[in-house]
Chains A and B, each alone.
Chain A
Amino acid sequence: MKIMVCIKQVIDSDAVIAVDDASVLPKTDERAEFHINRFDECAIEEAILMKDAHKDIAVDVISVGPPRVSDALKRAMGMGCDHAIHILTDTEGFLSPFVTASWIAAMASKKKYDLILTGMLSEDLMQGQVGPIISERLGRPCAVGIVHERLMLPQKKIYTEREIEGGARQRLEIDLPAVLAIQTGINQPRYPSLSNLLKANRYKIEIVDSASFAHAEPRQEVVATGCPRKTRAGRLLTGSLDEKARELYRILKKKALIP
């Protein structure tokens, strides 16, 4: 059985330091560090858990992006993925989910996977579209928000539970091949093992130039970025630690919120 896990490398949250009305994307610290999108990390872990539990499962990890993305792919291999594919672009800017998903789907249709896992959404653009778009491009079923799965290999199906409002779960049996968009909480991603990381560093990642795919015309663009509007008073206390603690007590006492 072949599984493909789609991952995105995202910038560390505390590196997003300013929003400049003139620029389209937020300013980031030059020393910014990146990590694997945590939803995608859960997807990798779930694939490796399937590999641990069943015989003959191979896991490919794929990512779209500039050269630095190879670090994320190596870490994924450190967690236990067997093969890594890098769809190389030269852009550091906004890449629409339609374009990303179209390239991944083109790659996947060549390789014939039984199961494709993605994270439910990315921490940066947060659209949650890549999984459903891949499934539509491949003409296969998709379920989003997966918090539990169990392979039903003889029936060529997978049992899944997707999380819906209020913490309820919708239970589904889905024919393979299928696309699942994974929600956090399904597992606790493992740290890569040292031996796997050493192997990953020597591994020859399959690099595919994004220009080799049929052109996918972007359907959307980011026009501007800015600070969110405050939905409440948003007053920040000032002064020393002790002054703030006393001021907070005084305010709560005045509002009769503290005895």
Chain B
Amino acid sequence: MNPDPVRPIIIVAEQFNDPKSFILDELIGAARKIQRFYRGPVKVLIITGDCEAAAVKSGRKTGMDVIVIRVPGLTGYNGEVYNAVFSEILQTMHPAYICLPHTSWGMELAPALAIRLNADCITAVVNITEQENRLLFSRFICNDKIIAKMNSVADTTVLTLQPGAFTAGKKDDTGQGTIENRTMAAGSRHIKSMGITAPVAQDTGLAGARVIVAAGNGIENQENLALVRNLAACFQKAAIAGSRIICERGWLGYGCQVGVTGMTVAPDLYIACGISGAAQHVSGMNKSGYVIAINKDPNAAIFNAMDMGIVEDLAIFIPAFIQVCRQE
């Protein structure tokens, strides 16, 4: 089903006092990719609280038509408030596509927003292509081993875009869009935010490490962590890290977790031992200089995100490698 080309592509974003707006850039990149195949206009909605300045500034930087929605008293994400505010505005705009970031708030809001708008929802989109006159949205399935291309058959489609998958592209300097300011009162009836707890800072040496050796579910038991530590000892300025599962089990502290809900690291060398390569982990280390993967599963997703890979049981390979290091 091809939407009427005057129906807009709407970007949905939030902006409080934190100045970072890279997510907005990526959403614009995704919207531009949609525009290659579907020529609707792009508009940006930014929800904010009492202090609109940061939102207006981010909006201006996009160069696009922006509506900044001020919700008095709002200090951060609340699912009920965001759904009420955005569904009310979006219903008047008759969008064809709605782009949210696949962040913790975007993934929670998108499916509920889609139901309210009688729309389809496709989450964690990493690419947008076209085939036989319809837009296809690519996303990972099966523990990130496989890419599925999906098609929406609804009139309106809500998408969440995977952070890091789309780039902003060249800034279009020819246009300066309009900024419209609106105020909408909205309260939450059933969800009361009690604040945000920052993670407990743990000095794990990850931030300053040149080399990080990371343990994943493939190490199979806690004793095998010794292999990972011994491997790290072959290098200088090395630290060990873990995937989410390892930290959940308490084999390593949460301060060692690399990934979306843990730390983002960018060492010169990252050695992933028995790590499956789930996107949520890879996004925390994919800016590393050189990535090595050791995994006995040849189909593991990690082999798509590494420079050099070894398909071997780490319990056998790591000692063999350490032996070579000692001989040299």
- Chain A positions near chain B (C-beta within 8 angstroms): 11, 13-14, 16-17, 19, 26, 97-98, 123-129, 132-133, 135-137, 140-145, 159, 161-175, 178, 181, 184-185, 188, 218-237, 241-242, 244-246, 248-249, 251-253, 255, 257-259
Task: Knowing A26-B146, A127-B123, A132-B112, say if A231 contacts B153 (CB, 8 Å).
Answer: no
Q: Interface with A: B52-60, B220-228, B310-318, which one? A: B310-318
- CB-defined contacts of A124 to chain B, threshold 8 Å: 141-142
Which among A171, A224, A228 is the interface contact of B301 at CB below 8 angstroms?
Answer: A228
The reply to whether A224 and B148 contact each other, CB–CB distance below 8 Å, is yes
A248 to B307, CA, bound (A): 12
- CB-defined contacts of B175 to chain A, threshold 8 Å: none
Residue B140 at the chain A interface, CB threshold 8 Å: yes
Given contacts A228-B146, A245-B321, 12 further A-B contacts (CB under 8 A): A126-B143, A129-B111, A133-B115, A184-B245, A184-B248, A223-B136, A225-B141, A228-B301, A236-B303, A236-B310, A236-B311, A248-B292
The reply to whether B196 and A235 contact each other, CB–CB distance below 8 Å, is no
Q: B67-92 vs A: 1/0 string, CB under 8 Å? A: 00000000011011000000000000
The reply to whether A129 and B304 contact each other, CB–CB distance below 8 Å, is no
A161 to B199, CA, bound (A): 12
A226 to B136, CA, bound (A): 13
Q: How many A-B residue pairs have CB under 8 A?
A: 257
The reply to whether A248 and B308 contact each other, CB–CB distance below 8 Å, is yes
Which residues from 179 to 201 on chain B have a C-beta closer than 8 Å to any C-beta of chain A?
Answer: 189-199
Nearest to A105 among chain B residues (CB) is B115
The reply to whether A252 and B269 contact each other, CB–CB distance below 8 Å, is yes
- CB-defined contacts of A232 to chain B, threshold 8 Å: 291, 305-307
The reply to whether B235 and A259 contact each other, CB–CB distance below 8 Å, is yes
- Chain B positions near chain A (C-beta within 8 angstroms): 76-77, 79-80, 103-105, 107-112, 115-116, 119-124, 131, 136, 139-154, 189-199, 211, 234-236, 244-245, 247-249, 254, 257, 260-263, 268-269, 276, 286, 290-292, 297, 299, 301, 303-312, 316-317, 320-321, 323-325, 328
Task: Knowing A133-B111, A140-B190, A221-B150, say if A169 contacts B197 (CB, 8 Å).
Answer: yes
Nearest 3 Cβ contacts at the A-B interface = A219-B120, A167-B199, A171-B194
Which among A140, A161, A170, A255 is the interface contact of B77 at CB below 8 angstroms?
Answer: A170
Task: Knowing A167-B257, A218-B153, A245-B321, say if A229 contacts B196 (CB, 8 Å).
Answer: no
The reply to whether A221 and B153 contact each other, CB–CB distance below 8 Å, is yes
Which among B107, B193, B198, B211 is the interface contact of A172 at CB below 8 angstroms?
Answer: B193
A9 to B79, CA, bound (A): 28
Which among A128, A226, A234 is the interface contact of B111 at CB below 8 angstroms?
Answer: A128
A235 to B76, CA, bound (A): 44
The reply to whether A220 and B235 contact each other, CB–CB distance below 8 Å, is no
Which among A166, A172, A257 is the interface contact of B268 at CB below 8 angstroms?
Answer: A257
Nearest to B193 among chain A residues (CB) is A172
- CB-defined contacts of A224 to chain B, threshold 8 Å: 136, 148-149
Task: Knowing A172-B192, A228-B140, A245-B317, say if A165 contacts B103 (CB, 8 Å).
Answer: yes
The reply to whether B104 and A225 contact each other, CB–CB distance below 8 Å, is no
The reply to whether B244 and A226 contact each other, CB–CB distance below 8 Å, is no
- CB-defined contacts of A185 to chain B, threshold 8 Å: 244, 247-248
A187 to B31, CA, bound (A): 39
A39 to B263, CA, bound (A): 22
Instruction: Please name 19 pairs of A and B residues whose Cβ atoms are closer than 8 Å in the assembled complex, sorted by A.
Output: A11-B142, A14-B297, A16-B142, A125-B141, A132-B110, A143-B191, A144-B107, A165-B260, A169-B199, A174-B191, A185-B247, A219-B153, A219-B154, A220-B151, A236-B309, A237-B310, A241-B316, A242-B324, A249-B321
The reply to whether B111 and A171 contact each other, CB–CB distance below 8 Å, is no
The reply to whether B191 and A141 contact each other, CB–CB distance below 8 Å, is yes
Which among B79, B107, B150, B261 is the interface contact of A167 at CB below 8 angstroms?
Answer: B261
Task: Knowing A170-B193, A225-B147, A237-B309, say if A245 contacts B323 (CB, 8 Å).
Answer: yes
The reply to whether A133 and B146 contact each other, CB–CB distance below 8 Å, is no
The reply to whether A141 and B123 contact each other, CB–CB distance below 8 Å, is no
- CB-defined contacts of A228 to chain B, threshold 8 Å: 140, 144-147, 301, 304
Nearest to A237 among chain B residues (CB) is B310
Task: Knowing A141-B191, A220-B152, A241-B317, say if A235 contacts B307 (CB, 8 Å).
Answer: yes
Task: Knowing A128-B107, A241-B320, say if A220 contacts B115 (CB, 8 Å).
Answer: no
Nearest to A244 among chain B residues (CB) is B310
- CB-defined contacts of A230 to chain B, threshold 8 Å: 304-305
The reply to whether A219 and B196 contact each other, CB–CB distance below 8 Å, is no
A16 to B144, CA, bound (A): 11
Task: Knowing A143-B79, A220-B120, say if A245 contacts B320 (CB, 8 Å).
Answer: yes
The reply to whether B269 and A257 contact each other, CB–CB distance below 8 Å, is yes
A163 to B148, CA, bound (A): 27
The reply to whether B199 and A168 contact each other, CB–CB distance below 8 Å, is yes
The reply to whether A16 and B145 contact each other, CB–CB distance below 8 Å, is yes
The reply to whether A126 and B140 contact each other, CB–CB distance below 8 Å, is yes
The reply to whether A222 and B112 contact each other, CB–CB distance below 8 Å, is no
A245 to B292, CA, bound (A): 12
The reply to whether B123 and A129 contact each other, CB–CB distance below 8 Å, is yes
- CB-defined contacts of B149 to chain A, threshold 8 Å: 222-226
Task: Knowing A128-B107, A220-B152, A248-B308, say if A13 contacts B325 (CB, 8 Å).
Answer: no
A72 to B119, CA, bound (A): 31
